[in-house]
Amino acid sequence: MITVMVINNTSLYFAAQTLIMLTPPGKYIDATSDFGFKKLLGSESNKLHLIDFLNDIFIGKHVITDLVFLKNEHQGEDKNTAKVILDISCIDNQGNYFLVELQSTDQRFFKDRCLYYSSRFISDIAPKGAVDLWKYELPPVYLIAVMDRFSFEDNLPGQYIRRVSLMDNETGKEFYNKLGFIYIQLAAFEKAEEDVKTGLEQWLFTIKHLSKFVDIPSFITKPIFKRLFKIAEVAALTKEERMAYETSLKDKWDRQNQLDFAVEKAVEKAVEQTIEDERAKAALAIENIARNCKALNIPNADIAKATGLSIEEIERL
């Protein structure tokens, strides 16, 4: 007996979900999962990792020796104002604020969201009460967005990091140096192992590929990574951490599969629409040929043989 299975896109989607749930994690946690990112960079016990990461990003503009983690949830002005929940927010020993966000998938108005988050944060740390005594002097605030699976379309060739600040359009010089946006685009970071040289490149390669490693690669030479890799071992997680990690992985894969499924459906719809458009163009061309033939007093029967149209269709033209 032959059994025929009809598999549609929805079936494939749920089959993929089941396969993901049955796939055991690797030796190291996924640093691009919400759990992995916060454990390695956003916890008090591991703040040395974040200090090193930020120092490699700012390459001397700021030299950070200590950080204090801050609350990540910032309420709106009233119940109608959306609250902001940050992945990591902290202040360094010189009074600079850093907001570090992991964004797994693209979304509409992502740049607007980054501006809103930083604005709400600035508003929240501004003095309250006797504002008439405040001179509006703001501390430096930087938002660092680590973008996992997407990048900006207007990147320069090979550009995986964008440093954005308020500029003077006439002179091209920086107008205000205490608000900055740094976009790290892992999807655009395509360096091979032999091309990884700088500290930042080691960080980005590790964050992007950590869950695929079976040991510390030889080209990852910074001493801080010996500590990071030890902490990143799945086997070192507590039972509670393991459960939280697996939930975080499933959430990440769910979002990506939903996005992939939506893209696939959009492509299918676009292809179907293209086919329909081409059919409509072909039908219109045949009708035009038939009209021209009629204008030349060619018999309808001959026109029908040449175009494939019926006599009735030709007579209606």
Per-residue pLDDT tens digits for 292-311: 888 888 888 888 887 888 88
User: 194 vs 188, 215, 223, CA distance in Å?
Assistant: 17, 17, 19
Angle at 53 between CA 47 and CA 58, to 5 degrees: 125
Range name among 137-146, 227-236, 254-263, 269-278 with the lowest pLDDT average: 254-263
3 compared with 169, residue with greater pLDDT: 169
State if pTM tops 0.75: no
Is 50 exceeded by the pLDDT of residue 13? Answer: no
Question: 32 - beta bridge partners?
Answer: none
Residue-level pLDDT at 179: 96
**Nearest by Cα to 155 from 186, 179, 131, 180:** 186
Q: What tens digit of pLDDT does each residue of 126-163 get?
A: 877 666 677 788 999 999 999 998 999 999 999 999 99
Highest mean pLDDT among 200-204, 245-249, 269-273, 275-279: 200-204
Report d(CA 158, CA 154) in Å as an integer. 11
